[in-house]
Amino acid sequence: MQKIGLWLVGAVLLASPSFGNTDRISWIIEQIVLPPLPTIEEKAGFQAMTQGVNYSDAFSILGDVLYDSKIVDFGMKYSERFFPEWTEEGKSLRRESLGLRKSFAAQIGRGFLTNENHFGRLSAEVIQFDPSAFRLLRVGYNTAIFDTLDVPWILRLNFHCLFPLRQPTGSSRTRASETIREGVIYNSSVEIGQKVVITSQASFQLGGMIHWTYRTRNIPEDILHVGQHYEHMLFSLGPWAEYGNKTSQIRLAIPWRFWLDKEIFERPTTTTGTQSVLVRYPNVISFPDVSLVWALAL
């Protein structure tokens, strides 16, 4: 069902233009929800994963340990981010993401594999970020269709919903004594590929992917503000390549990232007391990113 793997290195090198003060924490969510890669081998055992990600000046590392008993699997995650502030982008990232500097998570899941090489996995995970104490419940479904003699394509689909259990507090993500209210976060991805080289010991496959993350935030009313509403979408799309044999796997992806935002501000006027509404649509297109993952199976 799942390969007994030791994920040694996962590195993503990101280069992005200036984005000012616009919220950009969705890159953290993309890393946190990353599922184990499905395989066609039905084995029980441990899987450990380490991954490194950087976005602009910020760096994030993640460690994941998972035990699969073939009936149910259990996992623990830890991640931490660093903000050197080498550029204005780095300073902005530090301001908006410092409350999410660390995260701890525990998950439980159940996977299956059909005779037609169709893979599926349901999982639930509790994630806590520190020092903001922001807590999420992630419910996810991962599925894959592996290549057969009749179907040469590989298809992977991932769906995640993250429900806030506790809102962030005590960080730059607050306004005075009021907390920014995070809404439900949605994440999904589609990957399709084909094996172009197959031997008795190894295979090489190529494909394309698109990842999507959607978040909403609301700031409660205070003396100066009737309310503010934010919507953030992140699209990551591009090609990928994987090489694998019986003991290891290497994956390279080159995604382009598109950040689309909607900001709604409502303020009472000083003369009539009625509301005035301002809507903005900031967006950013990043330079091509590079994602590299190396897995070792025992």
Higher pLDDT, 199 or 184: 184
- Span 225-231, mean pLDDT? 75
Q: Give residue 267's domain range.
A: 5-297
**Which residues share a beta bridge with 54?**
13, 59
Rounded to two decimals, what is the model's pTM?
0.82
Confidence band of 164 (pLDDT split at 50, 70, 90) = very high
Number of domains into which the chain is organized: 1
Burial class of residue 28 in the structure, from the number of CB atoms within 10 Å of its CB (0-12 exposed, 13-18 middle, 19+ buried): buried
Indicate which CATH number applies to the domain containing 280. Answer: 2.40.160
Per-residue pLDDT, 13:
34
pLDDT value for 71: 86
What is the pLDDT of the chain when averaged over all its residues? Answer: 78
81-95 pLDDT per residue, tens: 888 877 777 777 777
**Residue 229 pLDDT grade (very low, low, confident, very high; cuts 50, 70, 90):** confident
Q: Judge contact between 154 and 38, C-beta under 8 A.
A: no
Dihedral angle at the C-alpha atoms of 173, 175, 181, 186, nearest 10 degrees?
-30
